[in-house]
Amino acid sequence: MLKAYKYRLNPTKDQIILLEKHIGSCRYVYNWALDLKIKTYEQTGKSISQFDINKQITILKNKKEWLKEVNSQSLQGMTRNLESAFTRFFREKNGFPNFKSKKNPIQSFPVPQHYYVDFEKGVVKLPKIGEIKAVLHRSFEGTLKTATVSRSTTGKYYISILVDNEKKLPEKQEFSASTTVGIDIGIKDFAILSTGEKIENPNHLKNSLKRLKVLQKRVSRKQKGSKNRAKAKQKLAKLHEKISNQRNDFQHKLSFKLVSENQALAVETLNVKGMVKNHCLAQAIEDAAWSSFITKLEHKTEWYGKTLLRIGQFKPSSKVCHVCGYHNSILTLKDREWICPNCKTKHDRDLNAAINIKKFALIDQNLIGV
């Protein structure tokens, strides 16, 4: 089983210079390789392979002497990333690979091999850079795969290490109606469970919006290219990073709690891209980060042998009475409560949806009748 471990690096000034050289050189090689592939295809109608590109890197080094100061494995790792980008483009239609810009605040480079982690000393040794102090807050066991060194928008350095612990994913545990929970995610309440529990939306972005507007105004008032503008952008980036960390921390804790307490979780497939086109709700939907939360549930259910059940996005979870099955076709988004005309049951819209999500998922698994 492959798992990634991310650690904060605390490099010295000299090591920062070397890290920046690696970032710049790897970005240059990626753009050079992408340009080479495009021109080769235009001239010959055939694509140049990763192996042939790697052979030409040696020739490129003789022309660009500064590339010799960088780990050669990292340069070849960028051609591997480019090949993966083209594979995704042809298979998944994810979009043609773009050239990397140095203006992008998040930069990174790969370290495929010849590095090690010393938990006793609290250091990570990288080729051509040496031992860098790191916050190794948790240990791991297994075979080291490719590591990725990155620089965040606030100028912090991190290393993400992919580890093969040689363990298999646990087998899926059996579940029933009593050990399954339906989850309806929303805006006012972040998650509503079929058990009746409601998890309040922390609204991290909304709570920091006033401060964000102040910092954004300060950035816009500074002269472009000035040091004061760079300082203002740094303060703005720190607040954005804080909001992102708060959101991730909340979602990790909630997803772990739900996975630990239940054998199966039922969620609804949502068309988030279509929903954010509603400008009245777009900011609140982006703040909730539903897709990120579902991804965390997917990972944790796999790691702990639990099951994530999905129902289709067109299932009428909100409009169907979970008691008698009556379909309320005139229900609108502003109706938070409604009374079933058939059985006279008073429904909380979100709780009714969570119960229906669970029922629809169990019906698909043939665990309950229609």
Query: Known catalytic residues?
Result: 184, 268, 350
E strand segments, the chain: 2-10, 107-111, 116-118, 123-126, 130-135, 143-151, 157-164, 180-185, 189-193, 198-200, 264-268, 307-311, 337-339, 346-348
Rounded CA separation 197/246 (Å) = 22
Q: Phi, psi (5° rounding) for residue 95? A: 110, 145
Angle among Cα 232, 148, 257 to the nearest 5 degrees reads: 85
Rounded CA separation 232/219 (Å) = 5
> Looking only at Cα atoms, what is the longest distance across the chain?
81
Amino acid identity, position 335: D
Within its chain, how far is the Cα of 114 from the centroid? Answer: 27
CB 306 within 8 A of CB 267: no
Reduced to 3 DSSP states, what percent helix, strand and coil does the chain have, rounded to the nearest 5?
Answer: 45, 20, 35
Amino acid identity, position 3: K
Amino acid identity, position 200: E
Long-range contacts of the stretch 174-178 (C-beta < 8 A, 24+): 174/263, 175/262, 175/263, 175/264, 175/306, 175/307, 176/263, 176/367, 177/358, 177/362, 177/367, 177/368
92-110 burial, b at 16+ Cβ within 10 Å, e below that, comes to: eeeeebeebeeeeeebbbb
Within its chain, how far is the Cα of 251 from the centroid? Answer: 12
Helix (H, G, I), strand (E, B) or coil at 263: coil
Edge-first strand listing for the sheet containing 264-268: 198-200, 189-193, 180-185, 264-268, 307-311
Amino acid identity, position 6: K
